[in-house]
Structure formats: C-alpha cells, structure tokens
Structure 1
C-alpha cells in the first residue's frame, strides 16, 4: 500500500511512555456499592477500546497543555460519572459489583514516532492494538494520550463492558469534552438500577433460552486446530452510494429495509460464501445484531424515555439468526434481509427486554452469556453486528477541534466475529466499518466486494 494507506513500514513505529498517573474525581466521593443490573450481568469481563485522532492543532497548543486539559476535565467529569472511577469487586455470592471508591483512572502520556498521515488505520492490529489503545490493568476505565511526530494527537480509552455499553461510553466521552470546554454537561448520567428491576412474578419467553446460556452449561472450550483460521481486525469505509444500492437491492418488493439490515444481510452472504470457498464441513452460519433497549422499554412514556435516555449501564440484547450456508449464498439479498428483519422483530419490543431481565433473575447468581459470543462458531461461522451510528466523534472536541477520525476498537476474544459500522467523519452519509473477522473471510470480502468495502486511508480522511 502507498503512503495514503499508512505508508510502508508505518506499523513499525515505537511508542514511548513518558508519564503514568492516576486521575481521581476532583471532589471527595462517599464510598458505596453500586450493584450491576441484570442486563450488565449478561456481559463477560471484556474491555472495549475507543480512539480519536486529532490533526496538529492551529492554536499551537503543546502536548503537555493538551494532556493537562484532558486530565483536569477528567477529574471534574468523574464526579458525575463516578462508576468509571471505581473498581469491580465480587460480592458475597460472587457477582461483580462496582465499588465506588474514587480509585481513579490510570492515565498514560506517550509519544509515537509516526506522523498521523502514515498511521495505517486500515490495519489496527498493527497500529492501534497494544500501541495507542491502553491495556486496562486496574479499575474500570483507562486513558492514553499519545503525541504524534507531526504534532497530532491520539486520545484513546479502554473501559469494562460490564459497567457501560457504547451508548453510555458515548455519553461519557461527550460529557468529558463539554467539561473541557467549560460547558454544562448536556446529559448527566443516571445510575437508577430500579429502571431495570425484574417483575414479580417474572415472565420468560422460551426463545430466551436459545439466545443466552448459564456459564455452568457451557461445553469445555476446545483447543484451536494448529492450522485453524484466526480473527483479525480491519477498518473500511463504504460510500453512501453503495449503502443506498444495498438498501434498494434488499428492499426490492417494497418492504423497505434499513441500511443496517441491508448491510448485515450483505455481510452474512459474504461470510456464507467464504465458508463454501473454504469447503468448510460446517453447513450452518449465525449472525447476531446488537439491539439497544432504551427506546424499547419506554414505549411512548415520555418521563421514562427521558430517564432511560440518560441511563448509564448496559441495556442490550443479542438476538441472532441461523441459516444454511448454501441457502444464504444462493438466495437474493432481499431474501436474506427478510431473515435479518425476522429475527430482529422479536427483540425490538418492551416485552423482550422485560423478559430478558426476568430470565437473568431466574438464573442468578450463576452468570450467563450470549450463546453466539461463546460458542457461536461451533456449527459454522458466526459474527455479530453492532450499530455505531450514534458514535458522536464530532462532539469529542476538547478545545483543539473535532477529531479527524474516531473508532471503536474491539477485538473481543469470543469465537464469533464482531463488526461495527459508524458514521464517517466526512459527514456525507458514508460509513466507516470496524471489522473483526476470520482472515479467510476478510480475504474473500476484499477479493469479491472491494467495490463496497474500501480500505480506510489517510487520503480518504484528508490527513495528507
């Protein structure tokens, strides 16, 4: 790849840490225990990464002064977002709870011997993982601010998924930027767990037993085959024109499918085609789509809608579909999009989320997990799509301008793939897509769908 895609050898740059400290909330906080909700308890211990790239600022701010702004604002925003300053500790029955003790956030300052335009964002395995996104070692939240050779800046965070979903993390990131600019916090967080209390008596739909499983019922993990494929991460962009084309192909009979349903259906067909190309013995493939329950749980109740709109925690479900590899490959995109719509339909209701809360309650204190995460690939290739269309990168402005690029980074460690489409920073309707899939799947997608999935380059992001 030429310099527009990151430059030859840009992956070889060295990151030197110059400072490590712990940033705690600026006000003393009363120590107390904050329980996780039933929906939080469905998450395994996973850390989620997110990063933002800033061009050299026009105000001639030094790296030290920008790091100072970040730390000062962080100490202030942790007063209201105190869960991110705490620690996860098991309670007497072994369930994790947040000890809100203002332990603080590990904050690393570093220098990377690379220019922003040479940062190969298409391959985050080489340039982001273990270099620019911090490995969280303590607490719930960690930050790394990295100065680039050109004067640019990367601000990256890792957070414990058991404490926050992407909606909550987005809320925090925007609040942090607002505080840095001395603005009031537009959405103060709510930790009101009673919003997600189980019903008495509970009511559980049998379909939930197909989606989630207590960890005690999981089969023992199998050792990977020595020559087996492995998951890799890549970032692409998809033009608005291609998205519209996929949507019209998926909506041929007048049933208009969403862009997310159309994109997911296209990707599912590609994964099925990859399985056939590799002569895989596995004949089945599964795809899950993450559903946020905040609007589903309110159903027209304006007061509850405003409470759920600021709720900080996980409000997610992970429905999935199972189809024959051959059928997905042979049928039209419209047929596949209908199948995606069908399995989503059952999970986008208030009753589904209330039932899921009740299902967890019935299995506590044994922890449970989404089936597609832990053994989704047992019968064949599996992956999950999580919409990042609310990703507010343009609002994460700490006072030196909007980021030129931002993305989640989530090589999540399950045996299923993970894909997150986000709005492109170009603001023209394009998408940027973080993909964590098997190498064989990525190779087939690049060979057969290069008109849709374009490798993310510095040229596209106007970093040149």
Structure 2
C-alpha cells in the first residue's frame, strides 16, 4: 500500500522499520523522503487468502486510527468441518492432486518468471466484455471472465508463435473462486454473516485446458464461454464441501492444484486471482487514503499468477499484477498496448 503526501515523489527510502517476524505474518513500513509511506505485509496462503488479508489490513488501519472495527473476524473453524462420512466427486480429483503424485518438471524447461504491474483503463475492460459476450448463446460475461479469456488467448498466441509443437500442447488457465458465499447456507438456516467474516483460506482454483491452436483461432466469445463452463462447475456449495472432504481424506499429505503441476508435454499455465474486492481505499491509517495497492505472489515453478485489483481512485480502472515469463509479458505489451499499460508514477499521481 502506497500513501502519498506530496505531488513530487522521489521514491528513495528515508527509513524502514520491520515488525518482529511471525510464522504466518510479517509487516514492514518504509518511509519516503517526500513524506509518503509504503506499507507491506506478508501472509502464509495456507491459512489466509486475499479476502482475509484484506480484513486484516482494514482492521489494522481502523485500529491505528482509533476507529471501531467494521468487521469482526470469525475464526470458527467448525464452519469448514468435513462431513461424516465424507463425500466428494471425481471433479475434485480433476482439480487437485497430492504433492507426492505431482510431476517433477525438469529444470530449464520453462522460461524464467518475472513480475510487472499494469494499468488497464476501464473503457478497455468494457470493450473486452462486449467482445466476449455472445447474448445469443448465454448470459453476459463478467469483466473478470472477459479479461481472463483475453489473456488466455494472448498466452496461447505467444506459445504458438514459438513454433514447434506448441500449437498442439495444452494451455491451462485457472481462476480463483472464493467459497464463503457458496458455503454460507448450512443445515438449519442461513450462515452467511459468519462465513463472510471467516478468516482463513476458503478458495478453490478450477481450471480449463485447451490446445494453443484452438485458443488462438477461436473468437474471444468462445474462449469466454469455456471460462464460464469450468467456473460454473466449481462455484457451488457442493464443490466446496467436496473439497473439504477431499482434503480430510488425504491428510496429512499436502496437496496442490493440478494447474500448477505440469510435464514436458504441457504448454503454458497460469492462474488468475481476483483482488477486485480488496478495498484498498479503506486502508487509511490516518494520514490519507492510499494511491496504490498491489499484490506479489511468488510460488515458484513455471505456472504464472495474475492479480487484478481495482484502482484506489474509484475510476473503474484496474491495477493488474502479472507474474509471467518475460516473453509472455513482452508479447502482451506488443500485441495489446491499448490494454496493457505499464504502471508508472504519472499514472499513480495523476
């Protein structure tokens, strides 16, 4: 989180204070010569998802400003208790795999992963949404579905441009789904209020896989429909209850999402999360609202990670953190410069 206190922003560090490291969380504050400040905080994703991180940061800011907490977090783990007996369908096995069963990718198989942050104007998001929507065959696509479909096509086109057998290899994309609202209705009545306040990790990562050639040649509306199909299979209460039962059945073996596991015969893979519910503008420690907020997620391997967030200025623009290969990032910048604009100081302070 970056807080601005002056219009001229020399981004040299004035002082830095790190709080004592904890097993799960670590925070730091970096003062700038201009009087502004950068707040950083790390979380262990096994126990806290982005939704929980947002709850923590907002509560931290409210406490610092001596304000009452707008949301009291719930740590009631029984909300995610497995069923007795457990029950899950084969679709869970399609999305998750025990770590011991994953394929070890040879070193050097994938291009090195790097990170860049982009600014995407709201009018470009509206255009992508319009192009991705086929009203004759289904409901309108969301902005996240449309953007994800567009990026999936871009990554596939880049893979195909490298020649060889890239066109026949499967290009995979996963999208993070929050299960809080899906799990809010339980036996005996509505439990939405408790689940909305739940602090923990309540996400699933369904994914789809198509050949590079298919993604390259098909229209954006077709790709968006594919995205909608694999999301609909996971955006249900039964999916998340099945996932809880699946995890319980495989204890203590750790597991991972299949989109992350790949072999030499696979094409590129990446995951799109959604920080659009991350209320950056509400993280006010008392010295002004943030002018910028983003997320960095380093999980190693060759699978990319993309995190779209709403701009704190309320314009509807997106700030998108992208953790992909340098070749993929260079390609999307060249092929769609009207969509992917590298974030600059001018964009933050304008």
Query: Is residue 2:183 matched to residue 1:297?
Result: yes
SS of residue matched to 1:409: coil
Residue 56 of structure 1, CA deviation: 2.1
Residue 337 of structure 1, CA deviation: 0.1
SS of residue matched to 2:52: helix
In the other structure, the counterpart of 1:46 is none
Alpha carbons of 1:153 and 1:377: their partners in 2 closer, same or farther (altered >3 Å)? Answer: farther
In the other structure, the counterpart of 2:312 is 425
The C-alpha deviation readout for 1:180-222, integer Å capped at 9, x for no partner, is 1111111111111110111111111101111111112123342
How far apart are the structure 2 equivalents of 1:135 and 1:348? 38
Query: Is residue 2:122 matched to residue 1:240?
Result: yes
SS of residue matched to 2:274: coil
Q: Of the candidates 298, 320, 335, which is equivalent to residue 222 of structure 2?
A: 335
How far apart are the structure 1 equivalents of 2:129 and 2:189? 32
In the other structure, the counterpart of 2:66 is 182
1:135-154 alignment, distance < 5 Å = 138-154=22-38
Query: Is residue 2:3 matched to residue 1:54?
Result: yes
The C-alpha deviation readout for 1:379-430, integer Å capped at 9, x for no partner, is 1100000011111110110000101111111132132100010001221111
How far apart are the structure 1 equivalents of 2:153 and 2:270? 12
Note if contact 1:136-1:159 (Cα within 8 Å) is conserved in structure 2.
no
SS of residue matched to 1:461: helix
Alpha carbons of 1:273 and 1:133: their partners in 2 closer, same or farther (altered >3 Å)? Answer: farther
SS of residue matched to 1:397: coil
How far apart are the structure 2 equivalents of 1:224 and 1:136? 36
How far apart are the structure 2 equivalents of 1:136 and 1:279? 50
Question: Superposition RMSD on alpha carbons, in Å?
Answer: 2.4
In the other structure, the counterpart of 1:173 is 57
In the other structure, the counterpart of 1:159 is 43
Q: Of the candidates 219, 236, 239, which is equivalent to residue 349 of structure 1?
A: 236
Query: Is residue 2:301 matched to residue 1:414?
Result: yes
How far apart are the structure 2 equivalents of 1:189 and 1:392? 16
SS of residue matched to 1:372: coil
In the other structure, the counterpart of 1:71 is none
Note if contact 2:48-2:201 (Cα within 8 Å) is conserved in structure 1.
yes
How far apart are the structure 2 equivalents of 1:142 and 1:378? 38
How far apart are the structure 2 equivalents of 1:280 and 1:159? 40
1:438-453 alignment, distance < 5 Å = 438-453=325-340
Note if contact 1:268-1:287 (Cα within 8 Å) is conserved in structure 2.
yes
In the other structure, the counterpart of 1:384 is 271
- Report the TM-score when normalising by structure 1: 0.70
Residue 141 of structure 1, CA deviation: 0.9
The C-alpha deviation readout for 1:40-92, integer Å capped at 9, x for no partner, is xxxxxxxxxxxx1111279xxxxxxxxxxxxxxxxxxxxxxxxxxxxxxxxxx
The total of aligned residue pairs comes to: 344
How far apart are the structure 2 equivalents of 1:133 and 1:379? 44
Alpha carbons of 1:136 and 1:232: their partners in 2 closer, same or farther (altered >3 Å)? Answer: farther
Residue 372 of structure 1, CA deviation: 1.4
- Report the TM-score when normalising by structure 2: 0.92
Residue 331 of structure 1, CA deviation: 0.5
Residue 453 of structure 1, CA deviation: 0.7
SS of residue matched to 2:63: helix
How far apart are the structure 2 equivalents of 1:333 and 1:406? 29
Note if contact 2:105-2:264 (Cα within 8 Å) is conserved in structure 1.
no
Residue 376 of structure 1, CA deviation: 7.4
How far apart are the structure 1 equivalents of 2:189 and 2:127? 36
Query: Is residue 2:218 matched to residue 1:269?
Result: no
Which structure has the larger Rg over C-alpha atoms? 1
The C-alpha deviation readout for 1:274-332, integer Å capped at 9, x for no partner, is 00111253421000000000001124987410010110100010100000100100000
Residue 241 of structure 1, CA deviation: 0.6
The C-alpha deviation readout for 1:229-288, integer Å capped at 9, x for no partner, is 211111111111110100010113343000000000000000000001112534210000
Alpha carbons of 1:459 and 1:417: their partners in 2 closer, same or farther (altered >3 Å)? Answer: same
Alpha carbons of 1:359 and 1:451: their partners in 2 closer, same or farther (altered >3 Å)? Answer: same
How far apart are the structure 1 equivalents of 2:263 and 2:283? 35
Alpha carbons of 1:328 and 1:134: their partners in 2 closer, same or farther (altered >3 Å)? Answer: farther
Query: Is residue 2:254 matched to residue 1:372?
Result: no
Give the unaligned 5+ runs of structure 1: 1-51, 59-114, 120-126
SS of residue matched to 2:68: coil
Residue 375 of structure 1, CA deviation: 2.8
